[in-house]
Chain A
Amino acid sequence: MKLSEKAEEILEAMWIAAEEEGQGFAEIEKIGVPADDPVYKELTGLAYIEIKGERAYFRPEGRKEGEKTIRRHRLAERLMMDVLDMRGENGHSKACQFEHLLNEGVDTKVCTMLNHPATCPHGRRIPPGECCLEARRRGDLGVVPLTELKSGEEGAIAYIQTGDSKKMQKLVAMGVLPGNRIRLLQTFPSYIFRVGYSEFAVDTNMAREIFINRQ
C-alpha cells in the first residue's frame, strides 16, 4: 500500500538518525512531526515502527521501507541537479515534492537514466536498489564523462553535452563524433585522446562534456 507523504518524511528522518548516524533509534521530538500525530498510528499499524516513550525504533519491514524512501529522495535530488539544473533551496524543495512520485518502477528508470549514482549531491550515500545490483552483476559500466576514464582506456563516444553549441560543432567537425572509438592517452596537465589517426588535447571543462561508453 502507498504511504502518506508525512509517513515517508518520518521514515526518512528515522533512517538518517537510526542508520546513518548509527544510534539505532530516532528521538521523536527531533523528527519534526509531533508525537500525537495520527501518522504514527499509521506506521505502527503497518508494523513498520515501534514507539517506546520518546524514541521510535524500526522494525525490519520499516527499515527496508525507510531505505527505499531515502533512496527515492536522494535520486530526486540528483535528478533536480544533474538533469534539470535546479540547485540550492529551490532544487531541494522541488526534490522533496518530486520524491513521492518515484514509486516502484519509476525510481528504477530514473536510477538507470542517471547511471546508478552512488551518492546524492551532498555526498551522502544512496542505498543501492535492485537495478544497481543487477547492473553491477552484468558488469554494465555505463556512460561516463571522459574525465572518469584512466589513461590508456578505450571506449566509444556516446554523446557530447555542452551548453555551447559552437563548441560542439567544432568538436564534431574535428571528428569527435558519437560512435567513434576514442582512446584516452593522458589526463594531466590536459586531456589527450586519439580518434582515428588524430590526436586532440582538451582541458578538463571540455573533457567533462564528452561522454564515453566504456567497453
Chain B
Amino acid sequence: MTLFRSRLRRRLRKGCSCHGPLADASCGVRKVALVGNPNVGKSVLFNALTGTYATVSNYPGTSVEVARGAAIIGGVSFQIIDTPGMYSLLPITEEERVARRILLEDAPDAVIHVVDARNLERMLPMTVQLIEAGLPVILVVNIMDEAERLGIAINIPLLGERLGIPVVGAAVARKRGLAEIQGKISCYAKREHSLPRYSAWLENDIAEIAGLLRGKYGLSTKAVALLLLQRDREMGDLVRIAEGDGFAALEAKIGEKIYARRESFHLDLSLERRRITEKILEGVFRAPDERKVTLGEKLSRWSVRPLTGVPLLCIVLYYGLYQFVGVFGAGTIVDFLEGTVFEKYFNPWITEIVRGFIPWPVWQELFTGEYGVITLGLRYALGIILPIVATFFLFFSVLEDSGYFPRLALLVDRIFKRIGLTGRAVIPMVLGFGCDTMATMVTRTLETTRERIIATLLLALAIPCSAQLGVILALLSQEPRALLIWGFCLILVFLLVGLLAARVIPGETPMFYMELPPMRLPQLSNILTKTYTRMQWYLLEILPLFILASILLWIGKITYFFDKMAVWTAPVMAAIGLPQETAVAFIFGFFRRDYGAAGLYDLQTKGLLNARQLTVAAVTLTLFIPCIAQFLIIKKERGLKVAMAIGIFVSFFAFGSGYALNKILATTGLL
C-alpha cells in the first residue's frame, strides 16, 4: 500500500494522472504500441487486448501490415497498435523500418516490449534501447509457462527495479498476466530509470553529439545520437531537416566520431549493451545447466535432416494437400455443395422463382442462365471455390502455427538459391498454392527487389492457386498419367524459368539466415480464427469479381461476343490442339484462375475434351496469365512496367508451352 502511494505521489509530481476520463479528455485517444522480436506473442497480446484479430503465426515476418484496434481498459479507450517484428531500434529490414516509424510518428503513450522469457538475455538489449530512447516502456516477459517447464526462474520484481519500468511476467496465450498488463497500461507513469552506463568513451561520444541536437525527434537525444553514430540513414535525413543550419557542424562531428571508431563500432556497442544486460540480469535470470530435450525439439530435428525431412515433407504434402484439400475439400465437399445443394436443389428452385418474377428471357439469363450471376457466379464461388480454399487455409494455418515453415525454408534453401531466391521465399510460394494474390502481397517480406521480382514471376506463372489446383486435381485424377504429366510440366517450368530468371535479372542472391521458432502444437482456436479471417478476406475479394465476371460473360453471350471470340481464337486453340469452346475457359481464367479451371470442369463434364486435350488445357491454363486481382496486386507491389512484362511473358509462355506439350504428347503417343 505504501509502495502504491509513493508511486502515486511520484506520478502526481510529474503532472500526469491517468485516473478517470477527466485527465484523458486532454490527450484524445491514448495509443499503446506493441513491439518486440518476431514470434514472441505480440499479435496474441494484441488480440487479447482488443478482441479483434491480427494474424498470428509461428513464422517470423508475417505481420507486414500494421494492425490497429480499439480497447477499453479501466474505462478509458485506447488504440492498440501491433507492429511488425523488430530486433533493434536500428532498422535493417522494411518491416523494422515500419515498426520504428510508428514509435517516432505515433508517439505512443505506452510502448509494450514483449520478450520471450527463455531468451530474455538476448532480447533485453532492445528493452535497454527503448528505455534509453526515453519511451514509456512496459516490459512483458512472455511465454513464462514454457520457460518454467524448462526450469528457468526469473525474478520479475527485481528486474522491474533494476530497469526502473513496469515489468510483467506473462503467458499471454494462456491468458496469464493479462489483467496485470491492462493494469499497467491504464496506470502508466514514467519513472526515472537507472540503467547502467556505457563505457566512458562511448558516453562521451554520445554526449558530444547529443549536445549539438536541437530538434524534436520523439526519441531522446541520446538515442538519436547513437543511431547517427550507427549511420542510420533514415534518422540522418530527419536530423538534416530538423537541424537546419546546425546540421553541417553536426555532420562533421558525426563523421569524425564514426571515423575514429571505424574498426568495429557496431560490435563494440553490442558488446557494451550485452555487458549492461548481464549486469541487469545478475541474480534475476537463472537457467538450469542441463537442457531438457522436448518432443517438439525431436520433431524439429527430424524435420530439418534431409534424410527424415524430405519424407516428412512428402507425408505433409500427401495428407495435407492431396488428401485433405484435394480429395476431401475439392472432392467430397464440392460434390455435396455443388452437385447436390446447388445443381439439384438451389439452382432449379431459384430458376423457377426468377422465371416467376421476370418475364423476359434475356434478363432471366442474367440471373439464372448459363453464365447467370446466381447459377454460375454464386455456384462457382460458394460451391466450388469456397470449400477448397477453406480446407487449404486450414491446412496452411496448422503448418504456420506449428513452426514448420522456417524448417522447410532451410531445407529448400540450396535449391531455391539456384533459382535466385533464398529459403525465405518458401512462405510466399506455399501460400501461393492457396491464393497467388495473397502470396504476391507477402513477397514484400523478401530482402531484395530481385528476389521479389523472381518470386512474383514464378507465382504468376507456375504456382496454381488452391481453387485451380483443386479443380484440376479433380479433373485429372481419373487419368493418373495426365496428372503426372501436368505435375512434371509445372515443376519443370518452375525450375527452368527460375534458373533463367536468376541468370537474366541482375543482382546477387542474398544470404540466408533465419531464426527457428520452437515447434509447437497449434492451438485450435487460433487456427480457426486465422482461417476465418483469411476466408473473409478471400470472399470479400472474390465475390464481387465473380459477380462482375458473370455480368460481363452474360453481356458477352447476348451480344454473341463469345461466339466471335471463339472463332477469332480458334486458330490459337487449334494450334495447341484444343476445341474452340476452350477459349471461353481462358477468358474466364483471366477473371480468376479458379474460374477458368471451373470452366474447364464444365467442358469436361460435357465430354468435349479427351485426355490429351484435357492435359494440354490444364497445363496451359495453369501457366496462363494471372487473374485480374493478382495482376492488380503485381502492379501495386512491383509497378506497371514489371506487371506488363510479367503479363506478356506469361501469356506467350503459357501458349508456347501448350503448343510444345501438345506436339510432344502427339508424337510420342504418351496420351
Contacts and interface: CB of A to CB of B under 8 A. Distances in A.
Closest 7 CB pairs of A and B: A175-B122, A173-B87, A201-B410, A197-B118, A190-B410, A203-B512, A199-B516
A169 B513 contact: no
Nearest to B411: A189
Contacts of B301: 185
A201 B122 contact: no
A119 interface: no
Interface in A82-114: none
A213 to B, nearest CB: 15
A187 to B, nearest CB: 11
Given A171-B513, A199-B515, A189 B118 contact: no
B289 to A, nearest CB: 12
Contact of B122 (A165, A169, A190, A196): A196
Nearest to A201: B410
7 contacts: A173-B90, A175-B121, A175-B122, A178-B271, A189-B411, A189-B412, A196-B119
Nearest to A202: B513
B271 A203 contact: no
Contacts of A159: 267
Interface string B251-290: 0000000000000001100110010000000000001000
A160 B274 contact: no
Contact of A198 (B90, B122, B409, B413): B122
Contact of A195 (B88, B122, B150, B230): B122
B470 interface: no
B422 interface: yes
B316 interface: no
A192 interface: yes
B153 to A, nearest CB: 14
A199 B123 CA distance: 14
Contact of B414 (A160, A172, A185, A190): A190
Nearest to A206: B511
Interface in B344-394: none
Contact of B306 (A177, A189, A203): A189
Nearest to A165: B266
B266 A200 contact: no
Interface in A131-189: 159-160, 164-175, 177-179, 185-186, 188-189
Contacts of A160: 267
Interface string B402-423: 0000100111111001000011
Contacts of A164: 511
Contacts of A177: 270-271, 274
Contact of A203 (B90, B92, B266, B417): B417
A23 interface: no
Contacts of A167: 511, 513
Contact of B409 (A179, A201, A206): A201
Contacts of B512: 190, 201-203, 206
A205 interface: yes
Nearest to B415: A189
Interface residues of B, number: 39
B141 interface: no
Nearest to B230: A169
Given A175-B119, A175-B122, A192-B304, A166 B92 contact: yes
A170 B267 contact: no
B4 to A, nearest CB: 35
Contacts of B410: 189-190, 192, 201
A12 B121 CA distance: 55
A168 B511 contact: no
B88 A173 contact: yes
A147 B88 CA distance: 27
Contacts of B193: none
B305 A186 contact: yes
Nearest to A191: B410
Interface string A56-74: 0000000000000000000
Contacts of A170: 87, 92, 513
A198 B306 contact: no
Interface in A19-37: none
Contacts of B423: 190, 201, 203
Contact of B511 (A169, A189, A192, A202): A202
A198 B119 contact: yes
A186 B297 CA distance: 13
A200 B306 contact: no
Contacts of B516: 192, 198-201
Nearest to A189: B414
B267 A172 contact: yes
- Interface centre among A173, A179, A205, by most chain B C-beta atoms within 10 angstroms, is A173
B492 interface: no
A166 B447 CA distance: 12
A200 B122 contact: no
B514 interface: yes
A170 B118 CA distance: 20
B513 A200 contact: yes
Contacts of A174: 87, 122, 513, 515
A103 B274 CA distance: 41
A170 B447 CA distance: 13
A168 B266 contact: yes
A190 B88 CA distance: 26
B119 A197 contact: yes
A172 B270 contact: yes
B421 to A, nearest CB: 12
Interface string B227-263: 0001000000000000000000000000000000000
Contacts of A190: 304, 410-411, 413-414, 423, 512
Contacts of A196: 118-119, 121-122
B304 A186 contact: yes
Nearest to B121: A196
Contacts of B511: 164, 167, 202-203, 205-206
A203 B413 contact: yes
A210 to B, nearest CB: 10
B413 A179 contact: no
A192 B90 CA distance: 26
Contacts of A171: 513
Interface string B294-323: 000000110011100000000000000000
Contacts of B267: 159-160, 168, 172, 178
Contacts of B90: 169, 173
Contacts of B413: 189-190, 201, 203
Contacts of B271: 177-179
- Interface centre among B406, B414, B511, by most chain A C-beta atoms within 10 angstroms, is B511
Contacts of B414: 189-190, 203
A116 to B, nearest CB: 25
Contacts of B121: 175, 196
Contacts of B122: 174-175, 195-196, 198
